[in-house]
Amino acid sequence: MKQMTTVAHGIDLVNFERIEQMLHRHGDHFLQRVFTAREQADAAAIKNRIEKLAGRFAAKEAVLKLIGTGWRGGIAWTDIEVVNDPLGRPKVTIYGKVKETAEALRLGPIALSITHTANFAMASAIAIYEPTSDPHAAGCT
């Protein structure tokens, strides 16, 4: 039987206050655990730091929802990096266990969109993949 190409989608919504509270409680430990050095530098360079971090946080959650694994199996927050391209569009780069899982799923490039309101950041991630006949291939059991 021929495999069908499938669209995978993940979405997440983050309240700015949640990020602010995490920074207040955990400081640099939170930043280093969740964000890559480049993401931290990008956020530090602008006046709306909390909004930027919340958008990146939502994007990482959206990517994991797209892949379907959650935070298990050795996946780290920093396995997902979200930075802007020269035109300002968010781009995702994956590493480590997230990359291994994406390759096992035969996941195509991930398209990412991030938006902000007065109090929230929302991210949507979408990609095309070809499901394998083996449900254990990506560790998604």
Domain containing residue 117: CATH number? 3.90.470.20
Residues 30-84: pLDDT tens digits?
999 999 999 999 999 889 999 999 999 999 999 999 998 888 888 999 999 999 9
Asked whether residue 77 is assigned to any structural domain, the reply reads yes
CA-based end-to-end distance of the chain: 22
Inform me whether the pLDDT recorded for 15 exceeds 50. Answer: yes
Q: Is 141 a domain residue? A: no
Q: Structural domain tally of the chain?
A: 1
Please indicate, yes or no, if residue 140 is contained in any of the structural domains. no
d(CA 133, CA 72): 22
Domain that holds residue 106: 6-129
Q: How many CB atoms lie within 10 A of CB 15?
A: 13
Q: How does residue 2 score in pLDDT terms, banded at 50, 70 and 90?
A: low
What is the pTM for the complete model shown? 0.88
Examine residue 137 and state whether it is found in any structural domain, yes or no. no
Please indicate, yes or no, if residue 134 is contained in any of the structural domains. Answer: no
HSE-up of residue 37 (Cα within 13 Å, Cβ side): 0
Q: Tell me, yes or no, whether 125 lies in a domain.
A: yes
